[in-house]
Chains A and B, each alone.
Chain A
Amino acid sequence: MSPPTLAVFKLASCDGCQLTLLDCEDELLGLSGQVEIAHFLEASSAVRPGPYDLTLVEGSVTTPADAERVHEIRAASRHLVTIGACATAGGIQALRDFADVEEFSRTVYARPDYIDTLATSTPVSAHVDVDFELRGCPVDRRQLLEVITAYLAGRKPDIPNNSVCFECKRRGTVCVTVAHGTPCLGPVTHAGCGAICPAYGRGCYGCFGPSGSVNLPALIPVLHRDGMDDRDAERFLHTFNTAAFEKELRR
């Protein structure tokens, strides 16, 4: 029996999440023995046509061409997993959703008429069915390996839905909010990174997006107490997962 095929595709993104796969230095060669890498442009010139058993998609949909391409990718994939904040929540480029994209285009480009872009940056799930969404800007290496291994074994990935606070406690990090009054999005942010920011003495800035069952509006007064005004709090939430936190606030 031939090994399952793996494909990696990229939409609007920084390449960081697919690089995470290449950063699995200890596991990369072992993994490549268990799957056939059928489409992964950053790693190989050999490209085989679909269907693919497992497809990882990085990046958000920001152009009419990508809005079409994402349907082709879905049609060629048995399982479709989105990796990273761009693919699961629109990424930082979703800041255009709350602005005038034509004005953005005029600001950045001498010839905005050459630029073909959508007014929004949307997650893959806004266009096609997605089997699993892995959060993070960037995704976590261990979580990415867990997702790939799970699909290879035909089981559901074991990715807990709790918040960064759980990871801080497990790591034994003193709470930066309680001890130092540092504004921190840890209580409302999806776990996965291992609570790095508080371990380095700064508040979580929410790069994994909202966790599953949180009361985001309840955190706002705490941010105010810790010295943020309304605009600071808004900026804090409107960064790498801007559309996802916005949805959570309006819920």
Chain B
Amino acid sequence: MTHRGSRVLHVGSLARVEGEGALHLSVHDGAVTDARLRIYEPPRFFEAFLRGRVYTEPPDITARVCGICPVAYQLSACAAIEDACHVTVDPALRELRRLLYCGEWIESQTLHIYLLHAPDFLGCDGAVELARTARAHVERGLRLKQAGNAVLELLGGRAIHPVNVRLGGFHRTPTRHELKPLAEQLKRAADDAWQTVSWVAGFDFPDAETDADLFALAAPGTYAIETGTPAVLRADGTLSTFPLHAFLDRVHEEHLPHSTALHSTLDGRRHLTGSLARFAISGRWLSRTAVEAARAAGLGDPYEGVACRNPFRSILVRAVEVVYAVDEALRIIDTYEPPRHPHTEVPPVAGTGHGATEAPRGLLYHRYLLDSEGAVADACLVPPTAQNQGAIEDDLRRIAQAAIDEHDASDEELTRLCERAIRNHDPCISCSTHFLDLTIERT
């Protein structure tokens, strides 16, 4: 067939992403005229039914937005409600939260690397097919993922929708003795994480570069995970931060007919959250081992504030983040002293609270308006996928156009390439089921 003239490519249901989405690409006379990641995940209305619930409930309820990153929802909700109630949580409990979050990072990033993303680089349909030719690699991935799940299970009670998180901390905190076997498992995971970096560093990466602004939390002194200030790194290298309470003044969402997810911009520009943004903004605060891993992977020197803007190479950054999360989990366990109380008391206060944390897929923001009894009057959740969708579509346009310009790529090639471009970000599509009500329609 000829590749000139008009053609439309359509992938009805994307594989190896979390949730349900489709891809639509229009090419006219060699120019990509339309690229859409269509999200058809049914709406679930979290922001609507959170109204009228009691302020202690959002951590358990919003966990159900996403089975892949429930801790991110639980801890963003806790941060926002504790902010509304003017409560500062005991530092030892904050460390324990970070340990729980490290478990989620290890589990979720490893899932992305081994089960969703690596098969693209190795030309197979999935990890089970990959295991036929590279069983040892897949087994290593499953073992590493299991170590992350072990952290979640011990601290949270279970890996999916943990039950032990509450406002102010935990229902029950572990003893030093209970954490011991976990440390043993994590020490083995440290080897697996390092080998994962070496493995993915050998993959063949297509050329691509995003010019979106990179957006992540910053917490100077540490690699931001469960807390921090929103920071923006523009393509020209300028870095700025803004207070979390200004989040909704800066990040605007727009509702487009082709998707149940909202499209958002940051100060009117496209932005990207997630591993690439975190690495660019907080790379200098990685542990020594993780910095070495980044250098060995060819990502450059994080101490020099290096940024990686090739979305295909996000798998490398993710692997470095797993090295860090394992390292950080071991550090927390090593210095752990059981806190005197499993949680800090959080009495209800009327007001508004903001919370944001770094979900594995990117920055996750929550805002709650509480009345004096602690009932939720209004809730607003802005997940990473809703923020990234514009940048993902821009990737699609750019990558498809480059392939057409370079060698008049066939429909099959373009489809495969675009699917890969989407899986670079693994949009967590389940997260797209709830949105803001602040967009004003003007006619």
Contact = CB atoms under 8 A, between A and B. Distances in A.
Interface of A: 10-17, 19-20, 22-23, 25-26, 28-29, 32, 37, 40-47, 62-63, 65-66, 91-93, 95-96, 99, 101, 103-111, 114-115, 117, 137-138, 193, 196-197, 199-202, 205, 207, 232, 235, 239-240
Contacts of B121: none
12 contacts: A14-B70, A19-B111, A42-B18, A62-B43, A103-B48, A104-B48, A107-B51, A107-B437, A108-B436, A109-B43, A137-B64, A201-B342
Given A29-B131, A65-B40, 10 more contacts: A12-B42, A15-B19, A37-B126, A41-B20, A44-B126, A44-B128, A114-B256, A193-B158, A202-B164, A202-B171
A81 B48 CA distance: 30
B142 A16 contact: no
Given A42-B16, A200-B172, A201-B172, A13 B430 contact: yes
A107 to B, nearest CB: 4
B439 interface: yes
A16 B66 CA distance: 7
A196 B68 CA distance: 20
Contacts of B171: 200-202
A114 B257 contact: yes
A12 B44 contact: yes
Contacts of A11: 42
A119 to B, nearest CB: 12
A63 B42 contact: yes
Given A15-B68, A41-B16, A62 B163 contact: no
Nearest to A41: B15
Interface string B279-307: 00000000000000000000000000000
B149 interface: yes
B53 interface: yes
Contact of A115 (B49, B111, B128, B260): B260
B41 A110 contact: no
Interface residues of B, number: 77
Nearest to A14: B67
Interface string B307-334: 0000000000000000000000000000
Contacts of B54: 232, 235
Contacts of A117: 42-43
A156 B10 CA distance: 41
Given A10-B20, A46-B126, A92-B61, A110 B255 contact: yes
B15 A32 contact: no
B125 A45 contact: yes
Given A92-B44, A201-B171, A44 B149 contact: no
Interface string B202-220: 0000000000000000000
B236 interface: no
Interface in B107-160: 111, 115-116, 119, 125-129, 131, 135, 138-139, 142-143, 145-146, 149, 157-160
Nearest to B16: A45
B86 to A, nearest CB: 25
Contact of A23 (B125, B160, B440): B160
Nearest to B438: A110
Contacts of B44: 12, 62, 92-93
Given A44-B126, A193-B158, A199-B157, A96 B49 contact: yes
A44 B20 contact: no
A114 B128 CA distance: 38
A43 B126 contact: yes
Interface of B: 13-20, 40-49, 51, 53-54, 57, 60-61, 64-68, 70, 111, 115-116, 119, 125-129, 131, 135, 138-139, 142-143, 145-146, 149, 157-161, 163-164, 166, 170-172, 254-257, 260, 262, 342, 419, 430, 433-441
Contacts of B51: 107
A37 B132 CA distance: 14
Nearest to B70: A16
Contacts of A63: 42
B128 A17 contact: no
A14 B65 contact: yes
Contacts of B437: 106-110
Contacts of B142: 25-26, 28-29
Contact of B48 (A20, A44, A99, A232): A99
B127 A43 contact: yes
A110 B261 CA distance: 11
A200 B439 contact: no
Contacts of B161: 16, 137-138, 207
Given A93-B44, A109-B437, A110-B439, A45 B126 contact: yes
B125 A19 contact: no
A29 B135 contact: yes
B19 to A, nearest CB: 6
A12 B41 contact: yes
B126 A114 contact: no
A16 B19 CA distance: 10
